[in-house]
Amino acid sequence: MASTSYLVHFLFLFSIFNISFASRHLTELVHDSSNLLQYHNGALLTGDISVNLIWYGNFKPSQKAIVIDFIDSLSNKQSKSQSEPSVATWWKTTEKYQTKKSTKLSLRLGKQISDQSYSLGKTLTDNHLVQLASKGESRNAVNVVLTASDVTVDGFCSSRCGSHGSGPASAKMTRGKSYKFAYIWVGNSETQCPGQCAWPFHQPIYGPQAAPLVAPNNDVGLDGMVINLAGLLAGTATNPFGNGYYQGDASAPLEAASACPGVYAKGAYPGYAGDLLVDATTGASYNAHGTNGRKYLLPALYDPSTSTCSTLV
């Protein structure tokens, strides 16, 4: 079962070493990014889309709530209940990628599936991820596989923190045409590589050793997962099947969030996430308010209308 994978690489490492991602440096992304992400004439996510969560392994109810509240916060229906800067406002940048003829994208929390028995074991391949993702809905959906901290996945920590792609749906559309479903995978890096996939809430393995920031939901692993999930959702919305908006190699494309590596607020530079908001009570750093009083740290998104990396603060 073939699937194309789009990677969330170690954004912090990209920013520190100025490593080329699709032949682009961080300085180029910020200062010379006109027409950075090209449209390849493919389908984008539009209409009413459910986000289905497949929990693989053990997650505490409090950990699940962090992700669930984040998904709920993306909805425009929830925007009035969020203080600014908000998750809903952050998500609006993805609307700038839609064509005038396309139906506005609206995300909502769909069904949840828990696999606490590790039915496929604790070492997963990309084919396993597609198999798990197929448990979600096959139409008008994004199926998100979230793996627990004791699950290893091919490439996890060594080359990626998560990925998104598409898999073949088992059903058929009208007139016998086949179609694909979009999926995302994100791993909990808390015990395996928090210095790579949960920065800036953990000290990095390489580069300047500044003190880590306090995670807004008091869970380094899950707050790191939200960062990666947010970026992958933006990439899925704008490049769900590999022929939407991206730059560079289609197998490792530069997308809406990965075009702005290591940037979370104004003033960001290699090794520094930017001038973030700080909770006066907990000391936690964040840049977005969500539902139920949540606070989150979300990556900058490339704004096609200004050809710059857009931050909430």
Query: Comparing C-alpha atoms, which of 308, 227, 294, 242 is closest to residue 26?
Result: 308
pLDDT value of residue 51 = 97
Q: For residues 300 and 13, what is the distance between their CA atoms, to the nearest angstrom?
A: 16
CB atoms within 10 A of CB 30: 16
Is residue 242 helix, strand or coil? coil
| Residues contacting 264, CB < 8 A, separation 6+ | 200, 273, 274, 276, 287, 297, 298, 299, 300, 311
pLDDT value of residue 288 = 97
Is residue 87 helix, strand or coil? helix
pLDDT value of residue 272 = 92
pLDDT value of residue 156 = 95
Q: Which amino acid would we find at residue 207?
A: G
Written as tens digits, the pLDDT of the chain (313 aa) is 444 455 554 443 333 322 222 222 223 333 334 458 999 989 899 999 999 999 999 999 999 999 999 999 998 665 567 899 999 999 999 999 987 777 889 999 999 999 999 999 999 999 999 999 999 998 899 999 999 999 999 999 999 999 999 988 765 554 556 678 999 999 999 999 999 999 999 988 776 678 899 999 999 999 999 999 999 999 999 999 999 999 988 888 899 999 999 999 999 998 899 999 999 999 999 999 999 999 999 999 999 999 999 999 9
Calculate the CA 9 to chain-centre distance: 11
pLDDT value of residue 176 = 57
Q: For residues 203 and 302, what is the distance between their CA atoms, to the nearest angstrom?
A: 26
Long-range contacts for 97-105 (Cβ within 8 Å, ≥24 apart)?
97/44, 97/237, 97/238, 97/244, 97/245, 97/256, 97/304, 98/44, 98/46, 99/44, 102/44, 102/46, 103/46, 103/47, 104/46, 104/47, 105/44, 105/45, 105/46, 105/47, 105/49, 105/237
Whether 140 and 50 have beta carbons less than 8 Å apart is answered as yes
Which tokens go with 294?
């949540």
Query: Comparing C-alpha atoms, which of 296, 30, 304, 221 is closest to residue 313?
Result: 296
